[in-house]
Amino acid sequence: MSDRIYSWKRFWCPRSGRINLADGGYLCDPQAEWGNVYNPDLVTFEAISKLPCLVLLGEPGMGKTHAMTAEQAIITTKIQEQGGQVLLRDLRSYSSPEWLARKLFDSAEFTNWLRGTHQLHIFLDSLDECLLRIETLATLLVDEFKEYRDQIQRLHLRIACRTAIWSPVLEDGLKQLWGKDAVGVYELAPLRRKDVREAARAEAIELDGFLEDLQKKNIVSLAIKPVTLKFLLNTYHRHNNQFPANQRLHELYLEGCRCLCEESNESRLASRLKGKLNLEQRLIVAARIATVTIFANRFAVWTGREQDNVPDEDVLLRKICQGSESVSGREFEVTETVVEEVLDTGLFSSRGLNRMGWGHQTYAEFLAAWYLKQHNLHPFQMVNLIVHSDEPDSRIIPQLNETVAWLASMETEVFREVMKTDPDAGLFHSN
């Protein structure tokens, strides 16, 4: 199918804000009636474009580069009409501090700004890729901008970066330069129902049937991200406007999670910056994280310093990094670097500075079940993990209902045991 760009209206959420997906799993449209009630934290780019310093974050596959490019095109004319200038730089090709300085701070646009009195709007894309090549990039940018502190009020900075790679050092430096209230950090929100409809219509997919099947199979959580929406549209198109009849739901969902684990950035692939892990290694580590967060009831992974104020509902990064995992009979150690690489996939999103959580709770619920299955736990061991051990009637722990449903769809013996001890459990995925 095509790689067309859709004319979606995208929304941004403050990093510590809340995103409401109560429209059947889709993003509640902030522009619909009562939208500002359901999603009060969400804003358009226009609403935050007047902030002097703006950081735009997004998980891999969320479409942040397309969104930022679209916004650039809209506001560039306005900036120029007001006498300002625009400086656009894609940092992914910058491999040295010298090259960065030459292309950015020694550019004609920047030099003209220094000599003039007008406003300069700098757009920096792919900061995360540049950080892989220039490890000192964060301090380099802060130190360089400090040289122009006296003129900083005429400078507007927009930076696009992957959520997990964003630098707290750079953020602190920007706040010191521009002032805390002048710096905004926002993350790109998922898609609305109308966005998915538009994409399906553009790809000549049978619209009502596609949306109905997404709802029926409970896979809207995959449709609200551009990268997995493309996977679902392709699958539906290849099988004559239906999902494969011989593919069970958990198999389809696993393919969607693989898409979210896979490096989809073409420039990273071309420059061999796709990370150290293969796809299956990423998937099993993601499933390990899911198992910890689901069964220990943790909200996020804390990636900052342990001596800082760690929220009680977070799990420390090092607590996930114990022992090894095995893929295709080959073991590999689960280190902090390994976990950090997996946190930088489409499965995860920000929960605040130094906190990474699940992009959608369903990803964690599914992968936790898949992890138990992959580790060949006996069905009775699985059941012992999911029921109240101190209750004589062995009822399922309510918070684990969705994970149990996935587990029962993968393991017939678990399904039978659960139906025996807790027949009221809603095993919605046990097709």
List the domains of the chain with CATH numbers: 43-188 (3.40.50.300), 279-421 (no CATH)
- Binned at pLDDT 50, 70 and 90, residue 379 comes out as confident
Using CA atoms, how far apart are residues 360 and 220, in angstroms rounded to an integer?
Answer: 10
Helix or strand holding residue 249 (H, E):
helix 249-261
User: Structure tokens of 124?
Assistant: 């920096």
- Binned at pLDDT 50, 70 and 90, residue 336 comes out as very high
**Confidence (pLDDT) at 381:** 84
Q: What is the pLDDT of residues 154-186, one digit of tens each?
A: 999 999 999 999 999 999 999 999 999 999 999
Percent of the chain with pLDDT over 90: 69
SS3 118: coil
Which range is least confidently modeled, 28-42, 144-158, 400-414? 400-414
Residues 6+ apart with CB under 8 A from 407: 369, 372, 373, 382, 386, 414
Using CA atoms, how far apart are residues 134 and 294, in angstroms rounded to an integer?
Answer: 36
The answer, yes or no, to whether residue 428 has pLDDT greater than 60, is: no
The answer, yes or no, to whether residue 200 has pLDDT greater than 90, is: yes
Using CA atoms, how far apart are residues 317 and 320, in angstroms rounded to an integer?
Answer: 6
The full DSSP string for 309-354 is: ---TTEEEHHHH--SEEEETTEEEE--HHHHHHHHTSTTEEEEETT
The candidate with the shortest Cα–Cα distance to 293, out of 338, 247, 356, is: 356
The answer, yes or no, to whether residue 340 has pLDDT greater than 70, is: yes
Which range is least confidently modeled, 32-46, 77-91, 236-250, 383-397? 383-397
Residues 6+ apart with CB under 8 A from 363: 221, 257, 260, 286, 290, 347
Residues 6+ apart with CB under 8 A from 265: 60, 129
Which residue carries 């619909």 as its tokens? 32
Q: pTM here?
A: 0.87
The candidate with the shortest Cα–Cα distance to 410, out of 250, 286, 291, is: 250
Using CA atoms, how far apart are residues 292 and 281, in angstroms rounded to an integer?
Answer: 17
Pairing, β 53-58 against β 183-188:
parallel
The answer, yes or no, to whether residue 43 has pLDDT greater than 50, is: yes
Using CA atoms, how far apart are residues 186 and 13, in angstroms rounded to an integer?
Answer: 5
Mean pLDDT value across residues 183-206: 96
**Confidence (pLDDT) at 389:** 66
User: Structure tokens of 358?
Assistant: 């699940």
**Confidence (pLDDT) at 102:** 92
Cβ neighbourhood burial of 394 (10 Å; 0-12, 13-18, 19+) = middle
Which one-letter amino acid corresponds to residue 263? E
**Confidence (pLDDT) at 430:** 46
Q: Please provide the distance, in angstroms rounded to a whole number, between the alpha carbons at the two ends of the chain.
A: 29
Q: What is the pLDDT of residues 383-411, one digit of tens each?
A: 788 876 666 566 778 788 889 889 888 98
User: Structure tokens of 96?
Assistant: 């040295």
Mean pLDDT value across residues 340-349: 95
Q: Are 313 and 299 in contact (CB under 8 A)?
A: yes
| Half-sphere exposure for 399 (CA within 13 Å, toward CB) | 12
The answer, yes or no, to whether residue 307 has pLDDT greater than 60, is: yes
Using CA atoms, how far apart are residues 150 and 257, in angstroms rounded to an integer?
Answer: 48
Total residues found in the chain within this entry: 431
**Confidence (pLDDT) at 390:** 62
